[in-house]
Structure 1
Amino acid sequence: MTPYLPQPTAPIEILLVEDSEPDIQLTREAFSEAGIANTLHVARDGVEALERLRCAAGQPAMPRPDVILLDINMPRMNGLEMLEELKRDPALMTIPVIMLTTSQAEEDILRSYQAHAASYVVKPVDFERFYEAIRALGRYMLTIVRSPGPQEQEDPLHQQL
């Protein structure tokens, strides 16, 4: 039985930055099983994620995510490099980032928080524990976290005028 979670008026927009196909499928299934209304967009590494967030030519357009779930170990640009780049961009820095990774290294945890990650979650290896972690993340995102809405975010282009 899926527990009741209050749902926002629209599904939450989630950008999952993950290069492992099994982890992507597991995340999709866990959100579905947990009954969390969401639109899950996927980028395979930090370069692709930043291009999509910045609407680079050749990348599919996507709405601004309500949250980014970010793995650390990826090709081209790893999650820590992407997080640092994202938090330097005035147009993207207010998007909450939850590190969702297998790394338990203290250095990765410290570096993530120093780069302003909202949370650091170690991915459990079995589905039941992973499902519980995703359900807890969903509850956290839907009932506890308050993110700036589009009207509350400062527009860096208008700041320069």
Structure 2
Amino acid sequence: MNVLFIEDDMIETMKLQRAISKFQSKHKIIEAKNGEEAFDILKGESLPDIILLDLNMPRMSGIEFLTKIKSDEKLKYLPVIILTTSENRVDLLKCFEIGIAGYIIKPLKYEDYESKLKKVFDYWEISELIKG
């Protein structure tokens, strides 16, 4: 599975890489530090199967990125899963209103983080994905 991971925090990126290295299935992670960089990646020929998106980023917030991707005819069907520390109900509702596939709050304990990620990846491995 090809995953676009949009996150500006290097520690969070390393955490994700560490967690998925333990999974039995191998996934290709494409990293972007912000929404603008992610859009440059999405202009390429092959699209990711899913997008993991942080909300709090410089230049273009996660909600701005989400709004932009969902208004694009080519990209709007890509499943976007929010992976954030924000427990703000307004953020949660806004993201679902725009059209996300899931909203995951990053837990403080690494083991809990790994467990949540494993469930996300397991689900999307068996879900029918749009092949671009």
Aligning the two structures, in what range does the TM-score lie when normalised by the shorter sequence? over 0.9
1:129: which partner in 2?
Answer: 112
Partner of residue 72, structure 2:
89
Contact kept? 1:36, 1:138, Cα under 8 Å: no
Determine if contact 1:13/1:63 at 8 Å carries over to the other structure.
Answer: no
Q: How far did 1:149 drift?
A: 2.0
Q: What is the identity percentage for the equivalent residue pairs of Structure 1 and Structure 2?
A: 32
How far 1:39 sits from its partner (Å)?
Answer: 0.3
Which residue of structure 2 lines up, in the alignment, with residue 120 of structure 1? 103
Equivalents in 2 of 1:13, 1:64: separation in Å?
A: 8
Deviation at residue 90 of structure 1 after TM alignment: 0.5
Correspondence for 2:12 among 23, 26, 31 = 23
* Residue aligned with 2:104, SS: strand
- Aligned Cα root-mean-square deviation (Å): 1.1
Amino acid at match of 1:148: I
Q: Give 1:138 deviation, angstroms.
A: 1.1
Please give the secondary structure, in 2, of the residue aligned with 1:19: coil
1:1-161 matches, cutoff 5 A:
12-55=1-44, 63-143=46-126, 145-150=127-132
Q: Unpaired runs of 5+ in structure 2?
A: none
Per-residue deviation, residues 93-131 of structure 1 (Å, max 9, x unmatched): 111000000101000000100110010000112210011
Secondary structure of the structure 1 residue equivalent to 2:83 = strand
Aligned residues: 132
Spell out, residue by residue over 1:63-107, the C-alpha distance to the aligned partner (whole angstroms, 9 max, x if none). 310000000000000111000000000011111000000101000
Q: Which of the two has higher C-alpha Rg?
A: 1
Poorly superposed stretches of 4+, deviation over 4 Å: none
